[in-house]
Amino acid sequence: TGSSLFVGKVPLTTTRTAARKYLLKDPTHWGTETRDAKNKEQENFARGTKFTSTTNKWGNGAVSSRASAAVDAQYGVVQTLDFYKKTFGRKGIKNNGKGARAMVHFGNQVANAFWDSVCDCMLYGDGDGDMFKKPLVVLDVTGHELTHGVVDATARLEPTFVDGDGNQYGEPGSLNESLADIFGSNVEFSANNPKNPPNYLIGEKLGLDQKFLRRLDQPSQDVLEGAIDYWSPETYYTEVHAGSGVSSHAYYLLAEGSGQKRIGAVTYDSPTYDGAAVKGIGRAKATKIYYRALTRYMVSTTDFHDARLATMKAARDLYGRDSVEFKTVIRSWAAVNVTA
């Protein structure tokens, strides 16, 4: 049993070691393991400190217990692997039957979380104590970051430019961020934990003043990064967490349709470029289409117009070219100003 920071008590599968101890490593998920970076900017997973326990009870739900953040991380990684396996038959982040690794307490007051392709693992900062008050180990952030790992192993979408501060720009990079948010939200729906109600918001559990980091129905509601709702020629130069709005919005419209809609505890309101309505085909089908497009048709330079074609091909494969699904894909992109 783990006592987490964000989702209460959760069951975890752990490993019994020779010395009558338990290790925070899950043999039912290809040895998925979480370690402690000990507040160093440590990117070598092997040098992280293992979490062990004699009681097989992990954390106490408080930030002061180092294992509590590890419980959220391990839970989130396992939920993400389960989502990819049960939805698409994907066996691990790289689809190679290997577990995923995570390190919590990365660096000193780091207000971010990363998929790191050097250590091939997840790195979670503890937050800066100001905007981010707790470690960034919530479920949709984990789903987001691990999806960067999936993109790394498939289309490898790359930023068009990177500036001196490491900020990334351009459409393929924006599409990468968007896919991370799309599948990150789907991880929440898949886990369906009442302590973490699923929705199309990203980072709503982080305790931010502005309530969420990003949202898919109307990306421009994000006050932090200034995401965009519609494509324009300038999107070529847009920062990737802002440009992500274009395809996140198209995906939401495909799944749920335009206008006001209440799902669970959240009311969504999704506008369209031309003001005409879009009728959604449902989240499950929309997600299948985007996954097939990512894994079969997208490449490192895929921009939004290419992404339209990639999702059209995926929808045609899955549902046929006369289908409502195929037509709604075209309609959803037109509604974000991406046309032939």
Q: Which of 29, 105, 144, 145 is catalytic?
A: 145
CB 2 within 8 A of CB 10: yes
Contacted entry of ligand ASN, Zn ion, none for residue 140, CB cut-off 5 to 8 Å set by kind: none
The nearer residue to ligand ASN, 114 or 273, going by C-beta atoms, is 114
For Zn ion (CB under 5 A), the number of binding residues is 2
| Residue 241 appears among annotated catalytic residues | yes
Contacted entry of Zn ion, ligand ASN, none for residue 30, CB cut-off 5 to 8 Å set by kind: none
Report the DSSP beta bridge partners of residue 138: none
Q: Is 112 a residue that touches ligand ASN (CB under 6 A)? A: yes
Residues 127-146 that bind ligand ASN (CB under 6 A): 145
| Shortest spacing between CB 118 and ligand ASN, in angstroms | 13
| Shortest spacing between CB 239 and Zn ion, in angstroms | 12
Report the DSSP beta bridge partners of residue 168: 162
The nearer residue to Zn ion, 81 or 179, going by C-beta atoms, is 179
| Shortest spacing between CB 136 and ligand ASN, in angstroms | 8
| Residue 239 appears among annotated catalytic residues | no
For Cα atoms 262, 267, 268, give the angle at the middle one, nearest 5 degrees. 100
Segment interacting with ligand ASN, rule: CB under 6 A, options 112-120, 197-205, 262-270, 297-305: 112-120
Contacted entry of ligand ASN, Zn ion, none for residue 113, CB cut-off 5 to 8 Å set by kind: ligand ASN
Binding mask 152-191 vs Zn ion (x if CB under 5 A, - otherwise)?
A: -------------------------x--x-----------
Q: Is 114 a residue that touches ligand ASN (CB under 6 A)? A: yes
Q: Which of 241, 249, 256, 325 is catalytic?
A: 241
Which residue has the CB atom at the shortest distance from Zn ion?
Answer: 180
Q: Is 162 a residue that touches ligand ASN (CB under 6 A)? A: no
User: CA-to-CA distance for 147 and 19, rounded, in angstroms?
Assistant: 36
Pairing outcome for strands 121-124 and 101-104: parallel
User: CA-to-CA distance for 206 and 142, rounded, in angstroms?
Assistant: 12
| Shortest spacing between CB 27 and Zn ion, in angstroms | 29
Q: Which residues contact 233 (CB under 8 A, 6 or more apart)?
A: none
Question: Interface with Zn ion by CB under 5 A: which residues?
Answer: 177, 180
Catalytic residues: 145, 241
Question: Interface with ligand ASN by CB under 6 A: which residues?
Answer: 112-114, 145, 148, 177
